[in-house]
Structure 1
Amino acid sequence: MTTNRAVWLAFFLNLSFTIVEFIAGGVFGSSTVLADSVHDLGDAIAIGLSAYLETISNREEDSHYTLGYKRFSLLGALITAVILMTGSVFVILENITKLFNPQPVNDEGILWLGIIAVTINVLASLVVRKGKTKNESILSLHFLEDTLGWLAVILMAIILRFTDWYILDPLLSLVISFFILSKAIPRFWSTLKIFLDAVPEGVDIEQVKSDLEQLDHVASVNQLNLWTMDGLEKNAIVHVCLEHVKHMDVCKESIRDLLKERGFQNVTIEVDSSLMNHAHHKRCVDELKSLDGHEH
């Protein structure tokens, strides 16, 4: 299944369950479920937005975006991550007070609703888990959050059938929310760095530069830019100075092979010769001398 279809299917699954959850919350008279349905509605909107941006990201480059639309996928991942983190913080703040005043819940109705919720979230997770984009990675984390949350609810419902430990409800919510934050924040930071054109993760730019300088006939590396548009394809711009212009073709091939070995798919190479630079420098000096002679 393509990334686009996977994200859209995940959106419709999430939105459908949000409607079911809202109805069930009213039937069971559970304010907890109703509040969670509002939270899930926000999640569904975020996923829908991500799906739309994922669709845009698949467009080819044009006169408006000459580098393509891949960054739109990252934008969707950032928005989803922000909503995920905001929702987790909201749950934490809300449930801290409930630790001191736990409320009874309808354990039987919540148990069956939890089973349905886990089934839907596992299905949605299976749909997007094979995706490689940052957007799909963030969505997988979202479904992990929901699955863990509802598993905790199921466990709580079973325990509450035999006890009145209602404090388990806010306690488990806090544990899950802190766990999700510990995963969401690093994902958000990783995506943000890509969005800001940071050097791709796992790439040591100083080592790459050193390896380029050690290639035969390379006198110096004057410019080296490494980045990725979407976290998948790596790009490089290299400007090197050669010992002699006759080695240009051989050196270009060596540079391209070296960078491709390190996972760079798109490589742009600019080459100068040290002899060309020397001639250019001499010409500039002669022109300055000529100008200086005219002034006198």
Structure 2
Amino acid sequence: MSHNHSHSHSHDTKNIKTAFFLNLVFTIIEIIGGIMTNSVAIMSDAVHDLGDSLSLGLAWYFQNYSKKKRSPSFSYGYGRFSLLGAIINSVVLVVGSIFIFIEAIPRLVNPQQPETQGMMILAVLGVVFNGAAVLRLKKGSSVNERVVSLHLLEDVLGWIAVLIGSIVMHFFDIPIIDPILSLGIALFILVNVYKNLKQTIQIVMQGVPDDTNVKEVERRLLAYPEIEDVHDIHIWSMDGEYNIMTAHLVVKNKEKLLELEPLKKKIREDLEELHVEHATLEFESVHENCDVID
């Protein structure tokens, strides 16, 4: 029996590569600028952008790495390596956020006036650099590019907040705005890290993907007149985008087992609508004894 599995992954990394270099160059400018302006808000956003640069760099590296063909060691291919990037990135952002809290909390008690003109210039540069990266990634079609684009759009909004804060501090003596902004950015980072880690752990633990419903898959399979029963359904995701399923399908008529090619094709098309890209289906007759592990 021949199996024709077509895996259509987008490997266009050009947009991610451009966004990575834009982000990295700006992060270096930002770290220097944060020290020169004495602003913890700028430094906290530098940590955020460093995390973004790392995330983009790892996405670029692992997207290239996932081009490797499946091997005896990795029979499903290398797609899951992208999750390593997400975990490393999360650890870096948590450490960075702790550093921000250590720096910013004493300044709530004893605020220091930052150099507001430098902050304004950096904020404008932040909007320009991150905005350019967003526009670049918007041209991409992959889910990876869209997610990173949304993340960088959040950065643009963060820089608009820093710009407004620096303008207010320039005209009014309210230096406490700086540590308040930095703590807000740090909390925002930690909330996003929690969401990303939760999703990553769900994939690593082979949980059912959020966009797939086991009951709906079962209902759709039982709608076929040839199928008597469905059991031992397992659905998991390789990397958050590519979902895999195995299932045992009991066929009503034993003779029908010889005529299953069109049925399998139709079932796989149906399952693709339910976000299952790869399905392994085992057909059985009604009286066949099937030992499955619950």
TM-score normalised by length of structure 1: 0.79
User: Which secondary structure does the structure 2 equivalent of 1:219 belong to?
Assistant: strand
Q: Determine which of 248, 253, 274 is the counterpart of 1:262.
A: 274
Mapped to 2, the partners of 1:265 and 1:60 lie a distance apart of: 17
Mapped to 2, the partners of 1:151 and 1:95 lie a distance apart of: 20
Mapped to 2, the partners of 1:86 and 1:25 lie a distance apart of: 18
Q: Structure 2: which amino acid aligns with 1:63?
A: P
Change (3 A) 1:233 1:144: same
Mapped to 1, the partners of 2:223 and 2:45 lie a distance apart of: 59
1:58 CA displacement: 2.8
Q: Structure 2: which amino acid aligns with 1:30?
A: N
User: Which secondary structure does the structure 1 equivalent of 2:171 belong to?
Assistant: coil
Q: Determine which of 3, 10, 19 is the counterpart of 1:10.
A: 19
Contact 1:74 1:135 in 2 (8 A): no
Alignment of 1:159-174 (within 5 A): 159-174=168-183
Q: What residue in structure 1 maps to residue 62 of structure 2?
A: 53
1:242 CA displacement: 1.8
Q: What residue in structure 2 maps to residue 30 of structure 1?
A: 38
Mapped to 2, the partners of 1:4 and 1:150 lie a distance apart of: 26
* Residue 196 (structure 2) pairs with residue 187 (structure 1): yes
Q: Determine which of 191, 208, 218 is the counterpart of 1:199.
A: 208
User: After superposition, what is the alpha-carbon deviation per residue over 1:74-131, rounded to whole angstroms, capped at 9, x for unaligned?
Assistant: 3223332343344334434532332111111111121112111221011122333545
Q: What residue in structure 2 maps to residue 292 of structure 1?
A: none
Contact 2:51 2:93 in 1 (8 A): no
Q: Structure 1: which amino acid aligns with 2:38?
A: S
* Residue 156 (structure 2) pairs with residue 147 (structure 1): yes
RMSD over aligned Cα, in angstroms?
Answer: 3.1
User: After superposition, what is the alpha-carbon deviation per residue over 1:162-208, rounded to whole angstroms, capped at 9, x for unaligned?
Assistant: 11100111112222332343334223312331233221213221332
Structure with the bigger RCO (C-alpha within 8 Å, sep 6+) is 2
Which one has a bigger Cα radius of gyration? Answer: 1
1:23 CA displacement: 4.1
Contact 1:219 1:243 in 2 (8 A): yes
Contact 2:251 2:286 in 1 (8 A): yes
Change (3 A) 1:2 1:57: closer
Contact 1:149 1:173 in 2 (8 A): no
Change (3 A) 1:88 1:132: farther
Moved over 6 A (4+): none
Q: Structure 1: which amino acid aligns with 2:268?
A: R
Contact 1:219 1:242 in 2 (8 A): yes
Q: What residue in structure 2 maps to residue 241 of structure 1?
A: 250
Higher mean C-alpha deviation, range 192-201 or range 252-261 = 252-261
User: Which secondary structure does the structure 2 equivalent of 1:99 belong to?
Assistant: helix
